[in-house]
Amino acid sequence: MKVLITGGAGFLGSHLGDAFLAKGDEVFVLDQAKDFKIRHNLGNPKFHYFQDSILNEEILDSLVFKTDLIYHMAAVVGVEHYVGDPYNVLNVNINGTQNVLKAAFKYNKKIIFTSTSEVYGRNPKVPFSEDDDRVLGSTRIDRWCYSTSKAAGEHFCFAYYKMGLPVVILRYFNVYGPRLDKIDVGRILTIFMGQILRNELLSVIGDGMQTRCFTYIDDAIKATVAAGLLKEAEGKIFNVGDEKETTIKELAERMIKISGANTTIKYVTKESVYGDSYEDIQRRVPKVELMNNILKVHAETSLDDGLRTTIEWFRAIGKNF
């Protein structure tokens, strides 16, 4: 089988490429990113890397034509982007997704759209099931542009599904592991990681009682592969995550303990980190029955084991990442 992964040089995409190569499949990657996360595959004759954008419809069309299964992972991700350049977030995530869907529909290729737990917004009803309401803040708050862009992508997916295109939607909950992000940017774990490597105080926003459910990359990839291979997944949304809640304060404490770093926590305001265009979410917890029962995947990696592996990887890579 030939698999196209848009955004395949990123964190999730690079691990997904590894998984399909391990199965003996041929992998095509379309991504603007540098090749650091996929460099280990560049010599593999079954791995093909095209450094370009999903906004380039010509190359996208040619890659969709020659492949059998499409994973659309390319997106602008990261809080610093939501509040720093909302136009780019909306443009790439909405218009780029339309390009991918249009090409997939043209050649009738199954597409797996990688969405996010952000689509639930600040809905206080937890845990979130796949059909729960979206509750967002004002459109004046840049923080919500990413959630909106991914939700728009989901609507386009279902529109094409009604026209006969095989589609699956995956909503990830705080996936982490080796190759996650560059230290100090992106997600909370890599921000803490940068501070740990420098023995700085870990910056916890507010009182640190916000909770997240952290999902190790290996578990997320098992669900992602299954979504592409199972016919019964088509036309459905799946939460991909671990049900165990962890406060941000506890995450910081665990990372300090596991890493052995000589540091502690400092508490900061969200305004001092992200300015006035950010709203935090108090709890984000998935229901995962559909992932368990249809994809036949359970989140099995403990947070301590996953953090240990991730911290070891970042320590080995250091600032070369």
**Catalytic residue numbers, as ranges:** 146
Taking alpha carbons only, the member of 201, 301, 186 closest to residue 252 is 201
DSSP state of 74: -
Residue 110's DSSP bridge partners are 69
The DSSP line for 302-321 is -HHHHHHHHHHHHHHHGGG-
Residue 228: Cβ within 10 Å count: 21
- Tokens 């997240």, located at residue: 212
Q: Are 118 and 187 in contact, with CB atoms under 8 Å apart?
A: no
Q: Are 30 and 52 in contact, with CB atoms under 8 Å apart?
A: yes
Q: Can you tell me the distance from the alpha carbon of 246 to that of 212, in angstroms, rounded to the nearest whole number? A: 5
Q: Are 25 and 3 in contact, with CB atoms under 8 Å apart?
A: yes
CA distance readout (Å), 242 to 114, 220, 297, 298:
17, 9, 11, 8
Q: Can you tell me the distance from the alpha carbon of 90 to that of 102, in angstroms, rounded to the nearest whole number? A: 18
Taking alpha carbons only, the member of 292, 192, 195, 297 closest to residue 248 is 192
The two tokens of residue 204 are 């916890």
Q: Which helix (H) or strand (E) holds 290?
A: helix 289-293
The DSSP line for 129-188 is PTTPPPB---TTSGGGHHHHHHHHHHHHHHHHHHTT--EEEEEE-SEE-TT---TTSSSH
The two tokens of residue 48 are 């093909």
42 in helix, strand or coil? coil
